[in-house]
Amino acid sequence: MPESTEQPSATSRPAAPAPGTGMLLIVSGPSGVGKTTIVRRLLDHFDGFFSVSATTRPRAATEVDGVDYHFLDEPTFQKWIDEGRFLEHAQVFGRSWYGTPREPIERAIADGRLAVLDIDVQGAVQVRAAMPDAFGIFILPPDEESLLARLRGRGREDEATIERRFAEARHEIETSRTCGAYDVFVVNDDLDRTVEEVAGRLRREQGRLRREQESR
């Protein structure tokens, strides 16, 4: 089933968090599980900040630098690594580099905003090591069969690519349960219900952070 892009009704919108409860949210999940749509809705609900990754891969004609990615050449990317400007970084398939800039996230949290990362398990492990107070949520499919159906339903890739993504997804799910990067696992069997559940978890976590701040 293709990922939904419909917007929730006004009555289904969770209440926005109180100011001064900035936090970092890590959202991960296999391809086709619907996490991109979930992240978009959370950003609307919480007036969140979405981190734009940096990459050394070539920019496509339709992409905008600083909006889709920060497009860097390899020497600049390496300079950012050396200067400690990434929360996490990795080389993908031995070709292009990808990384999460640190400064915009730290600024958003200091401003009391929800900063959201949509990254894979490898990146999530690095981020939790750098920022242990981050809150990690992993989005699961209802079952393997529905995940495979979603990958095929997108109609964007050939069968060989779909099978490769499916194998990667199974490995990612297995690793997510043992890597220690995630606080919550949520099954996306209904998009609206899943968004409500994730938003509720976030409100509770932000409430805990507020109480901690007030008790200091």
Confidence band for 72, pLDDT divided at 50, 70 and 90? very high
In the chain, pLDDT over 90 holds for what percent of residues?
65
In the chain, pLDDT over 70 holds for what percent of residues?
91
DSSP-based three-state secondary structure for 115: strand
| Number of residues written out for the chain | 216
**In whole angstroms, how far apart are CA 72 and each of 33, 69, 83, 109?**
29, 9, 15, 25
The CATH number of the domain covering residues in 19-215 = 3.40.50.300
- The per-residue pLDDT for 20 is 53
- Between 92 and 202, the more confident residue is 202
Can you give the residue ranges of every domain in the chain? 19-215
- Between 12 and 139, the more confident residue is 139
- The per-residue pLDDT for 183 is 96
Dihedral sign for Cα 49, 55, 57, 58, please.
positive
